[in-house]
Amino acid sequence: MTDLPETPASSSHDPQVALPPEFGVTPASAPEVPVVPDHSTFVAGPDGVANAAPMSATSDAVATTAAATTQAPTWVYPTWTPEEKSEPQSTKKQRTSSTKAAVLAGVLAGIIAGAGSAALVLNYNAGSSNTITLPTSTSGASARPDGSIADIAKRVLPTVVSIDVRSASAAGTGSGFVIKSDATQSYILTNNHVATGAGAGSTIKVVFQDETSIAATVVGTDDSYDLAVLKVAKGNLPVAVLGNSDNVVVGDTTIAIGSPLGLTGTVTSGIVSALNRPVTAGEQASSFINAIQTDAAINPGNSGGPLVNAQGQVIGINSAIATTSSSSIGGQSGSIGLGFAIPINKARSVAEQLINTGKSFHPIIGVSVDMNYTDGGAKVSDLTAGGPADKAGIKVGDVITKVDGHSIADGTELIVRIRAHSVGDTVTLTLSNGTDVKVVTGSSASQ
């Protein structure tokens, strides 16, 4: 049993699965632009934790006994589908006619204005012996010292790629960055929802900053952390420098690089707004991330791109944004300064496992939790017989209020806190009666 929510076998209710964001077009229909539902303003809970919806079920996951009763924020996963929506022919004709009329009026006005300007110039030149010239700056280019955003962008941009994923029924664009390269091949880290978002039978194309492109294959994916590794038959590529996300503090400079709305090589900057945000991510809504929050602008298409620090080191992988309303571009909402990135320390560990074995492992404690429980903490609704929590003495009905001394608001935050650990770690769970229970995390393989 993993720490993904699932409905216990004894439950008589099916969980209500929170709708995942659109990636391209769903395989059941012809390609069209995804539409993200319009939601009211996103509000975090009083403890600063985002209210998250219950996630979908898997056979070995930590589970819900019923759906969450609160409205979840709209998590938009920054991938972008460039196709346009169709519109009625009558509307097209009307718009086309109006556009032609506007263009024609502009042309006529330009001719008239141009003629008048020519007359003025002729009159001026005829009565003047002087020629006007405008001053030109004699100084050199603006200074771009080491460590400036311009300097960091220059160093990191060559490692960042745009990823185009297409199938017969869906398409999308995301980002990624090179993490390893030898003489003949290179590995690229991105989001699982980028690599697999177009469904089965997809083709993946990686586009580099010099506008060359090459086909890519999937080495492995982990939907638990929303990560994937791709491989391309192209060697000696510049490799991103991976930092240490454990050293990140609130207020640190952040720079996001990727392909928002298909605009490759876009650079935005901000700061680390918060740490340890419990965020659910991924097309199947099964990823639980102990995320870095940033106000650097992240938009559809940024998914999988690097979030770097002031030294140009990657500290996170841009994965999701919170949004309040839909925009007119592609039917998806844009940045409101609430972006979330997967910490690079966790991503590094997962990527190494995927490259070496084709799959990865995440920690579990062998419990299912009641996502309807709203009195604070995570209420245990089921246990895996002989699992880590069962062996430690946890009982059905117990309410876990802290993990390693950190208060948790609900079941989602319990899962996020557990997954921030590694397999085999010892975690301390505090129950509502004040009892501390030490649990050694077990292991579950990515699907």
| pLDDT tens-place string over residues 319-335 | 988 877 554 445 556 77
Cα–Cα distance measured from residue 217 to residue 170, given in angstroms and rounded to the nearest whole number: 18
Query: Any catalytic annotation for residue 226?
Result: yes
Domains and CATH numbers, the chain: 1-18+55-72+360-447 (2.30.42.10), 38-52+73-86+146-356 (2.40.10.120)
| pLDDT tens-place string over residues 122-151 | 455 555 568 888 888 777 667 788 889 999
Of the candidates 56, 303, 319, 446, the residue annotated as catalytic is: 303
CB 235 within 8 A of CB 291: no
pLDDT recorded at residue 116 = 45
Of the candidates 167, 169, 193, 273, the residue annotated as catalytic is: 193
Beta-bridge partner residues of 379: 370, 399
CB 65 within 8 A of CB 14: no
Beta-bridge partner residues of 405: none
Asked if the model's pLDDT at residue 251 lies above 90, the reply is yes
* Category of 359 on φ-ψ map: left (φ > 0), alpha (ψ -120 to 50) or beta: beta
Asked if the model's pLDDT at residue 234 lies above 80, the reply is yes
Mean of per-residue pLDDT scores for the chain: 76
pLDDT band at 303 (very low <50, low <70, confident <90, very high): very high
pLDDT recorded at residue 169 = 86
Of the candidates 226, 382, 390, 398, the residue annotated as catalytic is: 226
Give the position of tokens 């009982």.
395
DSSP 357-422: HS--EEEE--EEEETT--SSSEEEEEE-TTSHHHHHT--TT-EEEEETTEE--SHHHHHHHHHTS-
Helix or strand or coil: residue 318?
strand
